[in-house]
Structure 1
Amino acid sequence: MSDNQNLLAEQRRALILDEVRRRGGVRVNELTRKLNVSDMTVRRDLDALARQGVVEKVHGGAVPVVEASSHEPGFEAKSGLELGAKEAIARAAAKLVTPGSAIALSGGTTTYSLAHRLLDVPDLTVVTNSVRVADVFHTAQRRPGAQSRDGAATVVLTGGVRTPSDSLVGPVADRAIGSLHFDMLFLGVHGISVEAGLSTPNLAEAETNRQFVRSARRVVVIADHTKWGTVGLSSFASLEDVDTLVTDAGIPEVLRAEIAEYLSDLVVAGETDTDADS
């Protein structure tokens, strides 16, 4: 794979991580041949992935760090991961929003980043089950002079039971969401794959997300490249249910080709016309 020799480090590491997850482990000498780079470069990449906690180094290579499919990290634990990617995704996703529309934002740290980018979009109706997302709009509207600002968003926070990621789920949230209709849903995910589709480790959140998908005319998944290949306990939608995937430039070409087989609209933040002026 000689055309990979000039890959950015982040893209190369995404390829390595995909290979580790797909095969259950890789050897350094295999990666040097596949990527056409030195063994020192591969070892540095494996060191970086090990520090992120996504692979475990073993003699001569690496294996995946396998979390229980029901493990759900808290909001704070996830908020410090892939910050640059989340900001780029939020900028690109915000460009899809039309003033005056009714949108839904699910829970998650990427939708939280997007919420900050939507503060200046006028006349939105925002429905969310994320306490953090609702707080973004609430805090902005309490700033001096904000109360008189025309076009401030109308924010609807569903009720429900709070999860470790500060989302509200369960029957109360499901009924509220199921009675509404959104122009667009922005959906954060724990994991995304061809086989499992969109998944989460939280069973109640899976059902709430199903209600979100059913109530939206357009479903936009916003997920950084590390989410690809991750599978949670419960699937709540297939790739065919997704209209648009907004991801970051860390996703390698081999995965883009795979995604394109299932999704007609792939937005790579920073590399598309919609994000060119960010």
Structure 2
Amino acid sequence: MSDTSNLLAEQRRALILDEVRRRGGVRVNELTQRLNVSDMTIRRDLDALARTGAVEKVHGGAVAPGAPLAHEPGFEAKSSLEPSAKHQIARTAAALVTPGSAIALSGGTTTYALAQQLLEIDRLTVVTNSVPVSEVFERARRQGTGAATTVILTGGVRTPSDALVGPVADRAIRSLRFDLLFLGAHGLSAEAGLSTPNLAEAETNRALIESARRTVVVADHTKWGVVALSTIAPLAAVDSWVTDPGIPAAAAAEARTQLRELLIAD
């Protein structure tokens, strides 16, 4: 969007509605940046659109009417979203890992990108409930590339995003302890914390958090303000969030009030 600070309310709301229809949802903090108006103005616009049934308000923004909070995209569908941002995040997150560590990687396409950055780090033990993540290390082992890595795949029931969840996964995770957890998330918000569309995955991710000395969320800027069906944990349970430079200044400021540390990849 170009300079829109002088738009009439009707014009501004038409632009907002177009964004909702095109993307499936919008966030207040993004709209304040794009439209160069206050948070209160955007919230009034969303209230007006919600009264007509054009949008449905959710924490931090609005979605198309009837948009399912329980919708879970598959791994391949998510892989095509924000690939450059995921690469930046992965490189920054990999710098947090020291040789000889025991780390955990949850399911997700950003943790998959991170796994590829960890192949040269010596003597890692990697616990994961992600089939694609485990395959990154297995492929390197078969090809004789990368450092020697011990991989523990938790077992469990496979989700559409290729994560293993459920009681088998939860028991395996709770029997282990690791130095560092890298956790993907469907959404982060000040009100709902970390969330995911999958109830069982939320429970498995809680087990990962409980078993980690330090939890680092790896998620691109589009995840801020998104709320899914099931809350994993409040933002207070997160030690760091690594995101990309695409995060709007207002969103970064809000995140810093909720998180212990915000790391923006460069």
Aligned twin of 2:89: 89
Percent identity at matched positions? 61
CA 1:152 to 1:68, structure 2 compared with 1: closer, same or farther past 3 Å? Answer: same
Cα deviation digits, residues 211-240 of structure 1 (max 9, x gap) = 000000000000000001111110011100
Q: CA deviation at 1:265?
A: 1.3
CA 1:31 to 1:157, structure 2 compared with 1: closer, same or farther past 3 Å? Answer: closer
The correspondence for 1:234, drawn from 230, 233, 254, is 230
Give the whole-Å Cα distance in 1 for the aligned partners of 2:98 and 2:216. 14
CA 1:100 to 1:64, structure 2 compared with 1: closer, same or farther past 3 Å? Answer: same
Give the whole-Å Cα distance in 2 for the aligned partners of 1:251 and 1:20. 14
Aligned twin of 1:185: 181
Give the whole-Å Cα distance in 2 for the aligned partners of 1:226 and 1:31. 14
Corresponding position: 1:123 with 2:126: no
**In the alignment, is the contact (CA less than 8 A) between 2:197 and 2:228 conserved in 1?**
yes
Q: How does 1:116-265 map to 2 (within 5 A)?
A: 116-143=116-143, 145-146=144-145, 151-265=147-261
Aligned twin of 2:42: none
CA 1:139 to 1:31, structure 2 compared with 1: closer, same or farther past 3 Å? Answer: closer
Coordinate RMSD, CA, aligned: 2.9
Amino acid at match of 1:250: G
Question: Aligned with 1:180: secondary structure?
Answer: coil
Give the whole-Å Cα distance in 2 for the aligned partners of 1:198 and 1:266. 15
TM-score (norm 2): 0.78
Aligned twin of 1:34: 37
CA 1:162 to 1:121, structure 2 compared with 1: closer, same or farther past 3 Å? Answer: same
The correspondence for 1:22, drawn from 14, 19, 28, is 28
Where does structure 2 lack aligned partners over 5 or more consecutive residues?
A: 6-15, 39-54, 56-61
CA 1:159 to 1:26, structure 2 compared with 1: closer, same or farther past 3 Å? Answer: closer
Q: CA deviation at 1:88?
A: 0.2
Where does structure 1 lack aligned partners over 5 or more consecutive residues?
A: 6-12, 36-55, 57-62, 271-278
TM-score (norm 1): 0.75
Question: Aligned with 2:138: secondary structure?
Answer: helix
